[in-house]
């Protein structure tokens, strides 16, 4: 009886931000990170991290789609029959992705042109589908919103870290702004005080295998910092 009362009380005030909600939001940032712990969304993390700018736009798009699809699936979770749930989920994701694509086209046309293929690839980004399957299809809308937000941001965080190293070492730039490596001026006059002018861009970092190495090292550092994540098997 008391339990029923508590459950009713909790249900009557869905908007609250207690310990559990905070955990939902912050867990995916580190201890349950979509890329380094759950191993979801690797393909897009490999494809868009050649530059910081692409990675940043992609991160924002994924956060929006992740939150939106989580909330919609959670609202519809009792109506969707189990046998066709994947198709319904994919339609929800595809609709949201198309919306994000159109908004991006209207607001930031330059980024849209640079990213057009990859925005479409959000449909096959397993983070979104994975969270729908694992969380939103069995939880309330408000919690699903927090979960979607946390996972989207956690994904974006790793994306930016990987893109930082790949762009810096592969092209010598950050956000297309020349930071290290030889500039044309340096090549003409090598006495100019240009920091790291001797650096030659390592093209391996633009290719796919380097993304695997960078993510692998990020995982190494992350697990050295949080030993409870180490997987002994």
Cβ atoms of residues 77 and 136 within 8 Å: yes
User: Which of 133, 141, 142, 186 touches other proteins by CB under 8 A?
Assistant: 133
Question: Residue 140 burial (CB < 10 Å; 0-12/13-18/19+)?
Answer: middle
Give the shortest CB-192-to-other proteins separation in angstroms: 26
User: Which of 26, 30, 124, 173 touches other proteins by CB under 8 A?
Assistant: 124
Give the shortest CB-201-to-other proteins separation in angstroms: 10
Give the shortest CB-2-to-other proteins separation in angstroms: 35
Q: Does residue 80 bind other proteins (CB under 8 A)? A: no
User: Which of 121, 160, 174, 179 touches other proteins by CB under 8 A?
Assistant: 121
Give the number of other Cβ atoms within 10 Å of residue 177's Cβ: 8
Report the C-alpha gap between 30 and 155 in whole angstroms.
Answer: 10
Q: Does residue 116 bind other proteins (CB under 8 A)? A: no
DSSP structure class, residue 174: E
Contacts of 89 (CB under 8 A, 6+ apart): 69, 73, 80, 129, 132, 133, 137
Contacts of 198 (CB under 8 A, 6+ apart): 182
Q: Does residue 107 bind other proteins (CB under 8 A)? A: no
Q: Does residue 81 bind other proteins (CB under 8 A)? A: no
Give the shortest CB-69-to-other proteins separation in angstroms: 12
Here the tokens at position 175 are: 């956000």
Q: Does residue 102 bind other proteins (CB under 8 A)? A: no
Determine the Cα angle at 42 with ends 36 and 48, to 5°: 115
- Taking CB under 8 A as the criterion, which residues in 150-209 touch other proteins? 203, 206-209
Cβ atoms of residues 144 and 135 within 8 Å: yes
The residue with tokens 């189990």 is 82
The span of 143-151, 161-169, 190-198, 222-230 binding other proteins (CB under 8 A) equals: 222-230
- Positions that interact with other proteins (CB under 8 A): 36, 39-43, 46, 83-84, 86-87, 90, 94, 120-121, 123-126, 128-130, 133-134, 203, 206-213, 215-217, 219-224, 227, 230-233
């Amino acid at each position: 009886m008391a339990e029923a009362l508590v459950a009713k009380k909790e249900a009557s005030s869905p908007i609250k931000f207690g310990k559990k909600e905070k955990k939902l939001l912050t867990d995916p940032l580190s201890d349950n990170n979509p890329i380094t712990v759950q191993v979801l969304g690797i393909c897009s993390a490999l494809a868009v991290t050649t530059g910081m700018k692409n990675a940043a736009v992609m991160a924002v798009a994924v956060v929006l789609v992740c939150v939106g699809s989580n909330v919609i699936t959670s609202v519809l979770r009792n109506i969707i029959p189990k046998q066709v749930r994947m198709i319904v989920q994919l339609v929800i994701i595809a609709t949201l992705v198309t919306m994000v694509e159109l908004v991006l086209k209207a607001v930031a046309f330059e980024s849209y042109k640079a990213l057009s293929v990859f925005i479409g690839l959000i449909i096959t980004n397993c983070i979104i589908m994975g969270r729908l399957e694992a969380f939103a299809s069995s939880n309330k809308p408000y919690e699903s919103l927090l979960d979607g937000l946390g996972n989207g941001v956690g994904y974006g965080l790793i994306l930016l870290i990987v893109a930082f190293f790949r762009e810096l070492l592969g092209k010598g730039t950050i956000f297309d702004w020349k930071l290290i490596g030889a500039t044309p001026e340096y090549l003409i006059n090598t006495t100019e005080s240009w920091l790291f002018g001797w650096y030659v861009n390592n093209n391996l970092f633009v290719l796919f295998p380097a993304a695997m190495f960078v993510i692998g090292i990020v995982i190494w550092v992350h697990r050295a910092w949080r030993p409870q994540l180490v997987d002994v098997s």
